[in-house]
A and B are shown apart, each in its own frame.
Chain A
Amino acid sequence: MSKTKEIPIPDKISGFTQVRIDVDLTDGKISKSTLSNEFCRDWIGGYGFASKILWDECPAGVDPLSPENVFIYAHGPFPATILPTSSKYGVFAKSPLTGMFGMAISSGSVGAQARRAGINMIVFKGKAPELSYMVVDDDDHYIVPCPELAGKGCWETEELLREEFQDQRLAVMAIGPAGERMSRMACITNDRNRQAGRTGMGAVMGSKNLKAICFRGTKGVKVAQPVEFYKLARKLIKVANGPATAKYRDLGTPAGITSYNKLGMFPTFNHREGTWEKIDDGTFTGDTLNNDWVVKKVACSQCSIACDHITKIPKTHPHWPNLYASIDVELCYSFGSATGCYDWPTVFKCVELCDDLGIDAISGGVTCAMAAECFEEGIITEEDLGYKLPFGSTVNLAKFTEEMILGKGFPGKIFGDGTKQAGIRLEEMGKKKASFYGMHIKGLELPAFDLHGMSSFAVGESVSIRGACHLRNGAYGLDAKGKFDRFAYDKPLERGKAIKELEDIYAIIDSYIICKFTRGIYENDAEMAKVFDLVTGIPVTDKFIQKRGDAILNLSKCFNIREGWTRADDHPPERFFKESHTKGPAKGVVLKEDGYQTLLSGYYEARGWDTKTGIPTDETLKSLGLDFVIGKLIPSGGKK
């Protein structure tokens, strides 16, 4: 690792516990090993750790739902310190939804409790003989069979385990019935309202008969330079409660509904349109949500922002009285605008079903939107469902959602594994063109941006290693803020470089792991490097972390290539090329295939990848210290 030699490593590093736990669920064997100082320096934390372990240990071409898949829990050096949003953790595996690098990040109390218990990473392999949960209670690590928890929702599971342990602050990562039945879009829920949602990590837990993981710890956390860290952390806490994060605190991310609607970027009716009259007239906005429905804002452990907006349906509601749900902009899109539903309680009910029964509420809502459009197009019928499901459904939408999650009836059978599988299954039934309505990239459902008039983000979202995602590089900002002409295809290399720069630092944020909402609280990357230095004692620099972000991104990309990725996988859904909006700022606009391909090549060039195939060159791999990958980028054909 020649490029990293300039960063010296002290004999003793802080922050990291450096404890790796290996759990073989098949035979119940649990062992412990030490992550080396070099490993911690070079792979930084969550995402970085997992990219290395999955490359090294996940068998190429493995069936994601087989015991051979590797399921990783990891956090970085910061949990349990007062660094804002430090209590985050990540889960990683080969994804059953995309067949590629799977990752999901969550928060709540899990990272802090796991850190205080003294672990850094858990690597699960095999499959438990019966439904079980894992306990990490300081130095006691054990597996408990729990057939009595079969079929329980995530919320009840958490409550029951907290009662069992007589500890209301036990951190519990749980799967619901959707995870148990291995729905490819199953999530993991912790602290009731926090989800490691994307890429079906809940299904991987289900495939291993792992119902839950419980953490609690009593070990104090020392940092390398306490006085300096305290000073910087206090400043960051203040800034994290200032203008840089106001949009996440006040109205929350739903503030974006209005602003993106104005730009024609807020997807409605399954991405048919990018604007909505229900937003224009104030029915479905962040303001209305907050004024009429939000009753409390709640924070994760050590978070200064408190973005979690809890809504309440009143006791007088005919269908779902007294229901509480945790809402952000993604869910206003997935179960709201994308399905054409502007009835707030319906949105809340659907989100509650997802969070409690355990599927990703983005994927879930987008899959419902596909179903609604298929219904409108006559691809599925009232006969299939037993009820109507046009755009704008309410009670029927909630009914469909529940059946889809639980795998019941036609909705469960066809739509229970997300849009990609639904398209395949419907086409197998002779329903031609069904896949056209599945809004996914690489199998992962789209987040709340409409790509018609977003030429930069069309690339940014498509190259995301985990499938359609706004959080791998945040390149939507390039379009929304007008850094480049969002309807044009000029400056391919400059755009590519801009995406790469964002992506590299996002890879560090996901390795640290901190919340992307705090990106703006750091003066620059140097200050972000400084907190790592103050906590761990490893004197990293901005240049170093940017380079490591680059390496981490490249290694997870290599994982995808080994699993059979090709350039064609970095492509937005056909709709954006074939059907335009009928109104709004992007009216009449479609993505142009040749223009898109030019920008995609520009991104590959910026990354030092072959501009034709999108595969990293040996030179690039060597410059990032990824020599061990060279010669092993042979597709296994394992993409599923």
Chain B
Amino acid sequence: MSKIGTKKRGGVVHQFIIVDPNLCTGCETCESICSFVHDGEFNPINTRIHRVRIEPILNVALACQKCDDAPCVRSCPEKALEQDKETGSIIVDDDKCNGCAFCIRACDFGVLSLHLESQKALICDLCETMKEEYIDPERGEKYPACIDVCPKEAISLKDVEQIGEEKRIDAVKRLFGDIIKETEA
């Protein structure tokens, strides 16, 4: 079903987590909260969003990009990974996953990992599988917890159309700022 804030694209809601490196401070809160809402304990080893810091100033976090014809799905010898046709999310069948880690090797963004205890593949599912008790009562439904807790609002859920449009608007403001200034005056 389409919702406010989402846009179907050829019948597909292609939304994923993106992190703005200009806003990200590298605080790791997203990783802690990801493990917490899924497992009830704080452990960034079991996160589905991964912070990367390259000294001295680059900080950002990466999660599943929901690639079309995703390499992780193709690489899985057990056929344990499946891509949801409508959301683009990768669903892991824990019964089939044997922890061989081929999906981790296949992913160009390094956003898969294995859960420390279960040894099953972990990948961002936009908190579809978070525990019910950690749903924000105000929101009343599951929603990516990393977005809700990021202190700098550096994390957002965007679809490819939005990203493109935002970039275009930025570019136009840069290129044709004089015209905007005129309208403001």
Contacts and interface: CB of A to CB of B under 8 A. Distances in A.
Interface residues of B, number: 29
Given A218-B116, A230-B134, A241-B151, A81 B32 contact: yes
B55 A192 contact: yes
Interface string B29-56: 1001101100111110110000001011
Nearest to A81: B42
Contact of B57 (A218, A299, A305, A310): A310
B152 A306 contact: yes
A219 interface: yes
Contact of A226 (B32, B40, B148): B40
Interface stretch (A26-34, A69-77, A194-202, A290-298): A290-298
Contacts of A112: 28
Contact of B41 (A221, A304, A310): A221
Contact of B45 (A218, A241, A295, A303): A218
- In the A-B complex, the 10 residue pairs with the smallest Cβ-Cβ separation, listed nearest first, are A220-B43, A304-B151, A299-B25, A220-B41, A306-B25, A299-B27, A296-B57, A324-B56, A221-B42, A222-B41
A240 interface: yes
Contacts of A230: 36, 134
Contact of B36 (A82, A219, A300, A305): A82
Interface in B65-105: none
Interface of B: 25-29, 32-33, 35-36, 39-43, 45-46, 53, 55-57, 59, 116, 133-134, 136, 148-149, 151-152
Nearest to A113: B44
A300 B134 contact: no
Contacts of B136: 234
A620 B103 CA distance: 64
A45 B173 CA distance: 52
A429 interface: no
A227 B28 contact: no
Contacts of B53: 168
A499 interface: no
Contacts of B43: 80, 116, 218-221
A95 interface: no
26 contacts: A80-B32, A81-B32, A82-B33, A84-B151, A109-B28, A219-B43, A220-B46, A222-B40, A222-B41, A226-B40, A226-B133, A230-B36, A230-B134, A234-B136, A237-B151, A295-B57, A298-B25, A299-B27, A301-B28, A302-B28, A302-B29, A304-B151, A304-B152, A305-B151, A310-B56, A310-B57
Most buried by A among B32, B57, B59: B32
Contacts of A301: 27-28
B94 to A, nearest CB: 18
Given A227-B134, A230-B36, A295-B57, A304 B29 contact: yes
Contacts of B42: 80-82, 220-223
Contacts of B148: 234
Contacts of A237: 29, 149, 151
Contacts of A82: 29, 32-33, 36, 42, 149
A238 B29 CA distance: 13
Interface in A305-324: 305-306, 310, 312, 324
A306 B133 CA distance: 29
A216 to B, nearest CB: 10
Contacts of B25: 297-299, 303, 306
Interface string A410-434: 0000000000000000000000000
Contacts of B39: 220
Contacts of A227: 133-134
Nearest to A245: B151
A286 B170 CA distance: 29
